[in-house]
C-alpha cells in the first residue's frame, strides 16, 4: 500500500515567500490528491507549526494549508515542528494503520522538509516516490529555487538505505498501482 504525503503546502510559503512556480506546483499537487482519492490511496497532510514570529506560526495568516488543497473529512492533518515529518509526529503510526510501505512525497520546502522527510522515510523502511514537479522552494543567496529543485531531484533519485530507495519521477509518471 502507498500513501500520498503532502508536506507544508501552507499560505505563508506558497503566497508569503513566494516559492518557485507556487501556483503551478499547487495545481500539480491538487491533481495528485484527486488521483490518490480516485485510486483509494490515503492522503496525509503535514502542516508545520512555526515558532513565535515565524511565517508559519499557528494562528497567523501564513499558517493555514493552502486553500486549494481542501482536505476531506477523515483525511489526516499532522502537525510538526521540525523539518522531519516523522519527528515527534504520528506519521509513523498513521502509515502503520494503513499498512503503507511506499510514500509519494510532495510539498514545500525542497532543501529542508522535503529532503529530510524523504531521507527519514527511507531510513524508516519506506520506498519513496518524490514527485519532481510537485515540490518547491524559494531562492537563496547562493542558488535559485530552480537550481535547488533540480539539484535535489538529481541528488535524491536512487538514494537508498536498508533495501529501500527514493525514485524521482514527474507527476505524469506516478504509479498508483502499488
Number of domains in the chain: 1
Give the pTM. Answer: 0.97
pLDDT of residue 161: 85
Range of the domain at 149: 2-173
Strands 102-108 and 127-136: parallel
CB 47 within 8 A of CB 155: no
φ and ψ at residue 100, rounded to 5 degrees? -80, 140
Question: For residue 79, what pLDDT is reported?
Answer: 98
For 149-159, write each residue's pLDDT tens digit: 999 999 999 99
How many angstroms separate the CA atoms of 148 and 142, rounded? 10
Kindly report, residue by residue over 87-111, the tens digit of the pLDDT: 999 999 999 999 999 999 999 999 9
Query: pLDDT under 70 in the chain at which residues?
Result: none
Quote the pLDDT of residue 18: 84
155: CATH: 3.40.50.850
Amino acid at each position: 500500500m502507498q500513501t500520498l504525503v503532502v508536506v507544508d503546502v501552507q499560505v505563508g510559503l506558497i503566497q508569503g515567500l513566494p516559492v518557485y512556480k507556487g501556483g503551478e506546483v499547487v495545481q500539480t499537487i491538487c491533481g495528485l490528491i484527486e488521483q490518490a482519492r480516485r485510486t483509494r490511496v490515503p492522503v496525509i497532510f503535514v502542516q508545520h507549526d512555526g515558532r513565535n514570529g515565524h511565517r508559519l506560526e499557528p494562528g497567523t495568516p501564513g499558517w493555514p494549508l493552502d486553500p486549494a488543497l481542501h482536505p476531506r473529512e477523515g483525511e489526516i492533518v499532522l502537525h510538526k515542528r521540525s523539518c522531519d515529518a516523522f519527528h515527534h509526529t504520528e506519521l509513523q503510526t498513521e502509515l502503520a494503520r494503513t499498512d503503507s510501505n511506499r510514500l509519494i512525497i510532495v510539498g514545500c520546502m525542497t532543501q529542508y522538509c522535503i529532503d529530510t522527510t524523504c531521507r527519514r522515510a527511507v531510513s524508516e523502511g519506506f520506498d519513496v516516490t518524490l514527485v519532481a514537479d510537485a515540490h518547491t522552494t524559494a531562492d537563496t543567496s547562493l542558488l535559485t529555487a530552480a537550481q535547488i529543485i533540480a539539484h535535489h531531484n538529481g541528488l535524491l533519485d536512487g538514494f537508498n538505505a536498508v533495501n529501500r530507495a527514493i525514485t524521482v519521477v514527474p507527476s505524469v509518471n506516478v504509479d498508483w498501482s502499488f
